Structure formats: structure tokens, C-alpha cells
Structure 1
Amino acid sequence: MERQPNMCLGMRNKRCFWPRGRAVGGSSVINYMIYTRGRPGDWDRIAKDGNYGWSYSDVLKYYMKSERSNLRGFEYSPYRGRAGNLNVEFIEYKTPLIESFLEAGRILGRPTVDYNAPEEMGFGYVQATVLGGRRVSAAKAFLHPYKNRTNLHILPVSRVTKVLINPENKQAYGVQYVRNKLNYEVHARREVILSAGPIASPQLLMLSGIGPKEQLSKHGIPLIEDLPVGQTLYDHITFPGLIYTLNTTRVSLIENRETTLNTVVQWLQFGDSAMASPGAVEGIGYIKTPNSKEPADIPDIELISIGGSLVSDGGEGASKGVRRGMTISEKVFDEAYGSIDATETWSAFPMLLHPKSTGYLELKDNNPFSFPRMYGNYLTERVDVSEFVASIRYIQKMASTEPFQRYGARLHQPRFSKCRKLEFDSDEYWECALRVLAVSLHHQIATCRMGPPSDPRAVVDPELRVYGVGGLRVVDSSVIPRTISAHTNAPAIMIGEKAADMIKQKWSFLNKGS
């Protein structure tokens, strides 16, 4: 991300890290495998905005279509799919801390539920896209079983550089791409489907002449259609720095203790050792803080219960992969958490589900191998700060309940130099801490926003067709028009399922008509 004043101050170069999975299967090969769909109210208000066919009842059947669930206790749920390609399971390996999380939730009025079911908000064991303790990426689920089809061609180590569009009739007819340093073109008989994700899809549209007129003119790109591509961007951020120390041994995950030959062999054989844990995530909970501006049936915060914390990846011989993956400065980390590195801890990451702060992205230049300029604009709206601080207070209430106190949970005081003049545990202190250590959860959306013709920020219509250009659709999470209470992997797959039906329906209808 481009530098933002007073944000990401604890990161290397004071810039938030927005990684992407450059592999077949995209970012589903590097994500935390968390499976969440969003609440009914999320999708119903998207439909109410004029996006026909996108209500909760509309999208639910596509979630179920793609899913092959194996969730003990929910075998007979009418909201789960069992015949799809995407495996969704509970994680077999658990620490005792997940039971404390669920029990504390019940004490505070949040029932233990299937949090992907529509009836009520609550807490539950994390549901993940895994099979026997192993990652199931989008490629493994949907491409590997069919990779020998004669009508499927996968070109790895290739990069699309432009959508080919006839400037006279504004009809897309193919794409240009680079492979082994050579330029190629491939032409489409019917449609071009752009599914490059919330960063690369808008970049490709702009490189192809579809985007804000002034921006394209600045980079010498001939205009095909003036659309607000990249001008709306929402993202989910979290604060991983609220850490509780524990006085009981062997209740949390600590990498240098768990990574042994025995645990690796056990994982390879049975898929149920600590190696099967999705980054120590064990539970998900949805809450509404007193500061929420959302309707009654939509939460403003997701709590992610960790069977450890940021310090769990430390100690002698450990990878320190989590802190490095968040690009946290070693100096900042050591000052704040060095004294408890590789010790018994618990934490819950609060995720701000519906930020009012809006970002954007734009081209750096007209070189398709340059990354775009990305602006998160995090916490620029005061309500986002107040909801975050309220979520910290909620986690503190959870930690004070008996289920956590039986392990002696005590809040660690991180020492951030930027916040040293503020009283610890004051609202002002936590706002400062957020600005030092808040990180992206990589759920960027709305850069190719879906909307009706009356929506001035819309790039695609409710059938995902790019406005003003024929034969071109965008099918990925960039079309989600407003924030949803979900990690975006499952919604992106659902969008693919739904788009496939729309495309088939269109062309089967036209074929019958001819």
C-alpha cells in the first residue's frame, strides 16, 4: 500500500503489506483457509441497492452448490452443501483455549452456533477449506479434478497485459499476454471473463482503456469507456496486538515446541497434529458493539480466536513467519512484545467488518508489469476507530471471565514508542496502538463495483457485464459493491458459481433462439 500518514507505523517502511498469491488458484493458495459467507442482511441490502439476483436466498444456493461440508453436529443442516467440490471442515487439532473462547461467548450472551447459518449471530469453531488437515485451494477443488479436459488450457507463468477491445463497436474479443518473454494473443468467440482479483482486475481494465478518463489520459492510454474503475475500495483490517499471557503450561501453540518430527509425521499420516492448524485460528465470533452503525441483524466486528498470539511464532529455531508475514518492524516488535516472546499466550483479533473509510487504487504508469498505486485510507472516519476500541473492550470482558481466568489470563502491556506519552489502556492509547500495528486481512473489494445503471460508482451490472463494453465480464471479489461480514475467499467462489450459471443461461438461450 502507499504510505498513509499515521497508519502502519510499526511496519517496515511504514507501509501496510498487501500480498497476492501468484499461482494457479490465486490467493487461495496463501490465505488462512477461513470459510465465511456473510450474514443474510449483508446480501439482502446489496440486492436492495438494485443488484437483482444477489439477495441472501439467491446466493445461498451457490454457496451450497460449491460446498462439500463435513461438519460434525451440522450434518443435517438445511444450509450446508454436501456434493460440491470445495471441502469445508472443522480443524481436528485444537487447544483448550477454543473452549474458553466459546464458553466466554456464552457467558456474554453469544451462543455457540454454525456461524454460517442464517438464524442468529454467535460464536463457533472455525470452518476451513481443508481436507484431512490439508489446504484445499480453489485450484485443488475446481481445476485439479478436470485438468485433463480437452477444452481447458492452463498457462502458468503467464501474465495478461491487456483486454483486446474493438474501439469502434466497443466489443471485447480477446486478451494479450506474455509468456516466456514473448507476446501472444488469444481470441474469444463469445466472451472474455476477467477474474484477476480486486487489484489486478481493475488494473487490467484501466490498461485496456476502461477507467477514469483523466487517469487514462495522464498515462497515454486511449479511452474506450469512462468508468470509475478502482475509485472505490474497502478492506478489512485487524489489530493483532491485544495479547494475554497465561500462567498454565501447554495450553497454547508455540511454534518451536510444536514443530517436531513427530508432529510432522502425525500430520502426514492423520492430518490432526498442530501442523494442521490454519495459523492457530480456532474460532470465529460475531458481535455488535455499542458504537455500531449497522442494522440490527448485521454485526460490526468479527472476533478471530487464536490458540496463541503474535509471539507464538518466536523462540530459538522458529520461523517468526507471522510477524514477518505482517511485515512488522523487528525493532517495534521487540520493544512491544520481546519480553513475552515464545511464551504461553492467548489473543483474539478483532476484524472491523464494515469500515466507513474508503480507499482507492490507480495506475502507476502504463506498464502492465508495474503494480498499481494502492491507497487504503484506513481509520480516516472516526466511527471506525470507535468501533475498534469498543471491540478491544469486549475482548477484555471475555478475558476477565472464568474460562480464561482459570488459565491466569493477564493483559500484556505493549510498549510502543509512538504511544509512550499516553496512559496505558485509555481509549487514546488503543487508538495509537491501532495506528502502529493494524494490519490488512487482504479482503479488498469493490474496485470493479457492481451496481445498477443509476449507481455512479458502478463498473459492472448485476450480471457482472462491464458497462459500455460488449463481451466482457468481471468475475471475482472486486465486484462486491459494499462491505460484507465475511472473509472473501468463499464469496469469491460463490460469485464464480453464480456467474457460470448466468453465462450458461445466456448462451444456451441464444443458441436455442438461433
Structure 2
Amino acid sequence: MMSVKCVYFLLIFTIRQAFCETSKVRWYESLIQEGIEKAKNYQLPSDAKMYEPRENQKINEYGSYDYVIIGSGTSGSIIASRLSEIENWSVLVLEAGNFSDNGFVQFPRYFPMHSSSQYSWGYESVPQSTACLGTVNKVCKIHQGKGVGGTSLINGVLYVRGHPDNYDNWAKIAEDPSWSYRNILKYFKKTEKFLWTNKKVPVDLQYHGNEGLLHVQHKVPNFFLTDVFINANKELGIGVTDYNSPKQLGSSVLQLYTKNGAREDIGSVFVTPFLNRKNLKVSTESYVTKIGINRLTKTANTVIFSKKGNTFKATAKKEIILAAGAVSTPQILMLSGIGPKNSLENLGIPPIQDLKVGGKLMDHPTSKALIFSTNVSLPSETLQEQIRDYLQGIGTLTAPTLSQALGFYSLNNTNNVAPNVEIISDLTQPTEIDKKFSGWSDDTYKAYWGKNENSIGFAIINVAPKSFGTIKLKSRDPYEHPLIDSKLLSDENNEDIDVMYEAIKLVFKLTQTQAYKRLNLRYLGEPLTRCRHLKFKTKEYWRCFLRQTTLTGYHPVGTCPMGVDAEKGAVVGSDLKVIGIEKLRIADASVFPTPVAGHPSVACLMVGEKVADEIKNEHLEVCPRY
């Protein structure tokens, strides 16, 4: 029989445990509430003047390193980690942002608010004429992450690789089989530590890694709307799949790069744990303005950057790796004299290499404005209840959406194997932060929500767009944001908008299934102001609707594409070295020759791993096995 003394100590222990848990819950509650308020009031910068050095600054030497990496985003973080595995190689990483504080950004549920923070560049397009017309000033928001981890600090943590055909097409464009799906699969698997947390979801384990550093898992438990979406697809003859296997078409449950329900940004996984390496130096708050290139030998050798009011120069002995992202990378190249010759000369920048930098900006056209009234209400759980679940690695706060379902489809498509449409469904409500995140004008937001309160929304995404835009310098001032012209839905044959219209028709078919009829779905959206001259819900109306409500997917790619012919737009070769320039390589989403049918951060992981391996093979006499 337990003694009175033992019972007493057990009681004290239990009380202390309960007190600690309550204190932790209250701390997280305060963190979330403060984060929400900051996001509501945060004003994104319209330029990078915060990095401008004091006047009359001399250039200070920052030392010599074997490798200088510009940008510690998704690819840059991977490359820094892998290259610094070689003890006698010195690696410098220059990052404009800071390390994550692992505070508010750790909660996937609040990802739209993370874009309204210090971790976002604040990019937006110039006024548009073919899409984003329902936003304030007709501009597209282009949320890109700033900090160690890059966009993985602010995105929706969806782990979506794309279809094998995407990469096989890259291999054809680059005339290099090393980019084929068969040959790059090992790099996807190398980074991944897949945890099969939901055994009800089909997973083809041969296509997943289990020894990598990045955790990939399903949210648990399933919200019932996940099953509703999947069952609705089944009624239409669309099966359930593991979308990260070669059989991407079908519906499935989100795979997320989270650990115990918390965001796992790439910097925290691949950089922070290795900061004790003596050969790795990460310099934050370091804004790169130019790459120094010898005009006679066309060799890149230095990087100029500003940091805390001073200007510095770092020297690269082996290579400079530019991994600043699809917006900043072309800007840095053009400021350095690499870009369209006439454009550079017009700005007074002496051209060094005439390449079509910034000439093929691509993104996933996305409309999130299909809202249906439902008899389902948002969960009534309190924030403290959500936090208690979160501390167990489960529940609402651990995923970007309540309904963790999505589908990939081939609609109106000559390729019936690879998808051209992605659809994500979720239970939703109108909020000021959602309006701010997308930049909606008042009249557009009110009209597409209509009389809805408790609602199910469908996001439709064209994952194989034909349209492309441009990125150009606004001036020779490196602290000005570049001119971004997204040009969504601008392709000559209107294929992109036709695909989006087919996606709208599919959404309405899904809502007419028995699975959704039980939820009493009704479309209560009102005619958009600029589309009222057209008969409501006709094809002509929906095309107008799409011009108003299609935004970017915040997935810019292709601004320095890989290829074999500079005359046809290639900026880098298949080794990702800048054409005509020595010791300069690019490794980020800007090198994608075409978009992938997925979320590009995952493809950037692969690019980082592949580049790191190629550098090791090139610069080591014998490449050890890793």
C-alpha cells in the first residue's frame, strides 16, 4: 500500500505539472495574440532603403572564402550545409534577413500572417491588365521570404514535388539527363525524413526518404472535411493517390514539412544546427548590391554588400553561388552587368554579358474566390484548447488549412498523365488579414464573399501555365525593388484562362456530389462590379471573374532559366553556371526552365542538393560518399 508520504509527493508533482502546462499554454496564447496584432498592423516595405549604408562609406574587406553563397533561402541553406561538410573548405553565407526566432512563424495555421512580418520582402507587381484586376491598384502581391530559411519561413509548408514529366522536360531543355526524374529522385529522398502519421492515406514509400533532416508528415487527426473532399472526388471517378509518387493525378491528404506539428523551416534544419562548424560563417542583415566581375576574363570574384550602415567586399576563391530567389537573383545579376545589353546601357550600367535575365518570369495563376455557403461551422474550440493540442503535435494549429485535402487534375490537356490543375478546399471565413494578404479591393472582396458566413472555399491553381512576365531594374539604385510584371493569363491563345475555367466547372461538379450535398453547399457570391455587364455564371462571366480574382501563387520561377542557347533565353547551362561567366553559379527557383506541378520550395531543395554534389565532384579529387 502506498504511504501517505508517497501520495503527498505524487500530488505535488501532479499539481506542478498542471501548473507548468497552464503556464506554457498561456505563454503560447500571448505569443499568438501578439503575432496576430502585429500582422494586422505591419506595413511591408516598398523598397530596401533600410539597408542603405551611411554616406561616403569606403568598402571594407570582409575576407576571402572558398565559396560565397548569396542568400540563405531554401537552396542556399542546403548548399551551405553540404559544402561546409568539407572541413578544409571555407563557406560564407550572406543573408539580408535574420535567423527565425521560432516564435509566431512556427504555427502553420497562421501562415498568411507570416507574410505580413519582418520575414517578407514586400514585393508586388506593377499594375496589371490581364489578372489581379480585383486588387488595390491592380497589382499582384508576390510574397517571398527574407531570412535564414527564405520563403520556408512564411509559406504554407506544403511538400509537393511535382510530376516526373516536369523534370524529364527539364532534362530535354537542358540536353542533360542528370535532370531527369529518375536521376533527381535521390536528391528529393536525401533531404526527407518521411513520417507516415496517417495510415489511412496511401503512401508509396519507395519514393520517400526516411534518413533526411527535413520531417514530412500528415496532420493528425483528419478534419472530417478532408474525407468529404476525397469522397466527392471518388464519386467523380477520381482516385486517391500519393501525389509525391509518379502517380500524381488524384486527390490526397496534405504532406507537410512540419515536426510535431510545428513549421520546419529550411534554415532551422540545415543551417542552425551546424553553426558550430568553424568553416561556416553566416552573415545576416547583409544586403548584396553587386557581384564584382573581371571584365577582361569575365570571372566573378567578389561580392559587395551593405551591413549595418557599412559597405563590405567578400572574395570568393572557388565560386560564388547566387541563391537569392527568383526576384532578387535577376536584380543582382543586372546590377552586376549581366543582363539585356540595351536595358543595362539605358540605366548607365556597363554590360559585361548580354543575357536575357529576367525575361521569363513564370508563376502559378491562382484564384481563391470560389466560396460556397455551408451548414458546417468552424470548430468551436478555444485558442487554449488549440494550443493544448498543438503541444501534443496535433490539431488545428499544425496545418495551413482545416481541411487537409487537395487534388491534382489533367483538364483540357493534351498530356493526360501530368496535371495542369491543383484544387485545395477548406472551411473559411472572411477576415481582414486574408484581405490584406491578397491585396483585395473592398468591392471585389465583398462581392465574391457575397452573403456567405460559414463557408467552404476552393482554391484553383494552374500548375502548368503558358504565360510569362518579366523582371527589370527600376533604376541602377540597388535599394529599389525591381519592376515585376507578372502578366498572368496573358498567353496568346488564352490557354491559361481556359484551364482555369475548366477548373471552375470541376469545382461545381464536386459540389454537386452526394458528399457535398450533405453539407448544403450553395454559391452565394455576387456579381463582381467589373463583370456586371455579363450574364451571371456564364462562361463569359467566369472569364471576367478570373481576370479579377486570379493572383500569383507566390511561386515565381524561371527568371534565369537553364538551357543550351542564350539566344533563346538561357541564362545558365545544365551545370547552373552563368553562361559566359567563370566562377558564378545560380541555384534557386530562377533557374527553372518551366514551372513544376507542385510547390517550388521542394524543387529548390532538390536543386540545392544537386548543386552541392556537383560542386563537390568538381572541386574534390575524390568525392566521398555522403
TM-score by length of 2: 0.76
Please state whether the residue corresponding to 2:368 is helix, strand or coil: coil
CA distance in 2, matches of 1:149, 1:480: 31
Partner of 1:317: none
The alpha-carbon deviation at position 120 of structure 1 amounts to: 5.1
> Which residue type is aligned with residue 357 of structure 1?
S
Partner of 1:67: 192
Cα 1:200–1:296 shift into 2, 3 Å: same
Partner of 1:287: 409
The alpha-carbon deviation at position 498 of structure 1 amounts to: 0.5
Please state whether the residue corresponding to 2:155 is helix, strand or coil: coil
CA distance in 1, matches of 2:168, 2:207: 17
Once the two structures are superposed, the pairs formed by residues 481-492 of structure 1 within 5 Å of their partners are 481-492=593-604
Partner of 2:6: none
Once the two structures are superposed, the pairs formed by residues 111-126 of structure 1 within 5 Å of their partners are 111-119=239-247, 121-126=249-254
CA distance in 2, matches of 1:437, 1:414: 13
CA distance in 2, matches of 1:478, 1:259: 42
> Which residue type is aligned with residue 416 of structure 2?
A
> Which residue type is aligned with residue 481 of structure 2?
F
Please state whether the residue corresponding to 1:161 is helix, strand or coil: strand
Partner of 1:376: 486
User: 1:250-287, CA deviations, whole angstroms, 9 ceiling, x for partnerless residues?
Assistant: 4x46xxx55522212332x2132212221446122111
The alpha-carbon deviation at position 492 of structure 1 amounts to: 0.7
Q: Does the 8 Å CA contact 2:365/2:489 hold for their aligned counterparts?
A: no
CA distance in 1, matches of 2:224, 2:555: 29
Partner of 2:460: 350
Partner of 1:149: 277
Cα 1:428–1:75 shift into 2, 3 Å: closer
| Structure 1 range deviating more: 202-211 or 74-83 | 74-83
Q: Does the 8 Å CA contact 1:335/1:415 hold for their aligned counterparts?
A: yes
The alpha-carbon deviation at position 338 of structure 1 amounts to: 5.3
CA distance in 2, matches of 1:335, 1:58: 48
CA distance in 2, matches of 1:436, 1:126: 28
CA distance in 2, matches of 1:350, 1:62: 29
Q: Does the 8 Å CA contact 1:162/1:177 hold for their aligned counterparts?
A: yes
> Which residue type is aligned with residue 144 of structure 1?
T
| Structure 1 range deviating more: 362-371 or 114-123 | 114-123
Cα 1:313–1:90 shift into 2, 3 Å: farther
Please state whether the residue corresponding to 2:179 is helix, strand or coil: coil
Q: Does the 8 Å CA contact 1:10/1:329 hold for their aligned counterparts?
A: yes
Q: Does the 8 Å CA contact 2:561/2:570 hold for their aligned counterparts?
A: yes
Partner of 1:84: 212
| Structure 1 range deviating more: 271-280 or 321-330 | 271-280
1:34 to 158, 162, 174: 158
Please state whether the residue corresponding to 2:439 is helix, strand or coil: coil
| Structure 1 range deviating more: 432-441 or 181-190 | 432-441
Cα 1:493–1:434 shift into 2, 3 Å: same
Cα 1:76–1:14 shift into 2, 3 Å: closer
Partner of 2:384: 261
Partner of 1:445: 557
2:423 to 292, 295, 303: 303
User: 1:166-223, CA deviations, whole angstroms, 9 ceiling, x for partnerless residues?
Assistant: 1110111121110001000111110000000000001100000100000110111111
What are the ranges of 5 or more consecutive residues in structure 2 without an aligned counterpart? 1-124
User: 1:384-427, CA deviations, whole angstroms, 9 ceiling, x for partnerless residues?
Assistant: 11111111001111110011111111122233111112222111
Q: Does the 8 Å CA contact 2:232/2:515 hold for their aligned counterparts?
A: yes
The alpha-carbon deviation at position 6 of structure 1 amounts to: 4.5
Q: Does the 8 Å CA contact 1:97/1:346 hold for their aligned counterparts?
A: no
2:340 to 200, 207, 212: 212
Please state whether the residue corresponding to 2:126 is helix, strand or coil: coil
Cα 1:148–1:259 shift into 2, 3 Å: farther
Q: Does the 8 Å CA contact 1:239/1:434 hold for their aligned counterparts?
A: yes
The alpha-carbon deviation at position 504 of structure 1 amounts to: 0.4
Please state whether the residue corresponding to 1:160 is helix, strand or coil: strand
Please state whether the residue corresponding to 2:503 is helix, strand or coil: helix
Partner of 1:15: 139
Please state whether the residue corresponding to 1:292 is helix, strand or coil: coil
Partner of 1:102: 230
| Structure 1 range deviating more: 112-121 or 25-34 | 112-121
CA distance in 1, matches of 2:435, 2:242: 30
What are the ranges of 5 or more consecutive residues in structure 1 without an aligned counterpart? 315-319
Once the two structures are superposed, the pairs formed by residues 428-443 of structure 1 within 5 Å of their partners are 428-443=540-555
1:180 to 308, 331, 354: 308
Please state whether the residue corresponding to 1:348 is helix, strand or coil: strand
> Which residue type is aligned with residue 407 of structure 2?
G
Cα 1:75–1:286 shift into 2, 3 Å: closer
The alpha-carbon deviation at position 380 of structure 1 amounts to: 1.5
User: 1:450-501, CA deviations, whole angstroms, 9 ceiling, x for partnerless residues?
Assistant: 0124762100000100000000000001101012211101001110011000
User: 1:276-328, CA deviations, whole angstroms, 9 ceiling, x for partnerless residues?
Assistant: 22144612211111x224x232111111122x13xx253xxxxx322211111
CA distance in 1, matches of 2:217, 2:305: 37
Please state whether the residue corresponding to 1:509 is helix, strand or coil: coil
CA distance in 1, matches of 2:526, 2:127: 24
> Percent of pairs identical after alignment?
32
> Which residue type is aligned with residue 164 of structure 1?
G
| Structure 1 range deviating more: 363-372 or 447-456 | 447-456
Partner of 1:272: 394
Partner of 2:19: none
CA distance in 1, matches of 2:425, 2:282: 38
| Structure 1 range deviating more: 449-458 or 199-208 | 449-458
CA distance in 2, matches of 1:368, 1:106: 52
Q: Does the 8 Å CA contact 1:201/1:478 hold for their aligned counterparts?
A: yes
Deviation beyond 3 Å, 4+ runs, structure 1: 72-76, 509-512
CA distance in 2, matches of 1:475, 1:401: 45
Cα 1:496–1:339 shift into 2, 3 Å: same
Q: Alpha carbon RMSD of aligned pairs, Å?
A: 1.8
Partner of 2:497: 385
Q: Does the 8 Å CA contact 2:451/2:524 hold for their aligned counterparts?
A: no
Q: Does the 8 Å CA contact 2:488/2:552 hold for their aligned counterparts?
A: no
CA distance in 2, matches of 1:430, 1:332: 14
TM-score by length of 1: 0.92
The alpha-carbon deviation at position 360 of structure 1 amounts to: 1.0
Please state whether the residue corresponding to 2:206 is helix, strand or coil: coil
Q: Does the 8 Å CA contact 2:226/2:403 hold for their aligned counterparts?
A: no
Please state whether the residue corresponding to 2:342 is helix, strand or coil: helix
Please state whether the residue corresponding to 1:123 is helix, strand or coil: strand
CA distance in 1, matches of 2:373, 2:593: 40
Cα 1:93–1:182 shift into 2, 3 Å: farther
